[in-house]
Structure 1
Amino acid sequence: MSSVASEITVTVTIDARGQSCPGPLVSLARALKDARPGDVLELLATDPGSRSDVPAWARLTGNELIEATERDGEFRYLVRKA
């Protein structure tokens, strides 16, 4: 985890491990509907497709991808709601 991410407070964690595409992205989008601007959502996923899907989705929707990491086949994304 980067020093920037360690200073960020996660508002909601979405555990999408075991879901295949488009499951992780759908779970993230649903959770963001209930989030407030500035909230940080943590998405946990095992779907390799999320590596390209989450950053592209964040760009298209105007939300900020703060961090994307992979460890032992698990992906972790921090997204700040615009």
Structure 2
Amino acid sequence: MITLDCRGQKCPLPIIKLAKAMPGVAIGEIVRVLADDPAAANDIPAWCRLKGQEFVAGHGQRFDVRRVI
């Protein structure tokens, strides 16, 4: 599992960081994004839908994304 600490960053920075990390992530691997911007709760699942990735879970300030493609 890869963890991206995006706490203290306003959107779209957590999404940009997630997008830049994805090419280095193996298919099936999970990326955990730590983000305290309230917009992340909507933005990360929306990004997953747009990019064909799997939004696994979101709990508080923790969001798990599985690389699918």
Which position in structure 1 is the counterpart of 2:65? 79
Gaps of 5+ in 2: none
Equivalent pairs counted in the alignment come to: 68
Q: Tell me the equivalent position of 2:53.
A: 63
Please tell me the residue identity of whatever aligns with 1:76: R
Q: Give the TM-score, by structure 1 length.
A: 0.79
Q: Post-superposition shift, 1:39?
A: 0.8
- Once the 2 structures are TM-superposed, how far is the Cα of residue 31 of structure 1 from its aligned partner? 1.0
Q: How does 1:1-80 map to 2 (within 5 A)?
A: 11-70=1-60, 75-80=61-66
Amino acid aligned to 2:40: S
2:37 corresponds to which letter in structure 1?
Answer: D
Helix, strand or coil for the counterpart of 2:26?
A: coil
DSSP-derived class of the 1:56 partner: helix
Distance in 2 between residues matched to 1:29 and 1:78, nearest whole Å: 13
- Larger-gyration structure (1/2): 1
What residue identity is the alignment partner of 1:44?
Answer: L
Q: CA RMSD in A?
A: 0.7
Unaligned runs of 5+ in 1: 1-10
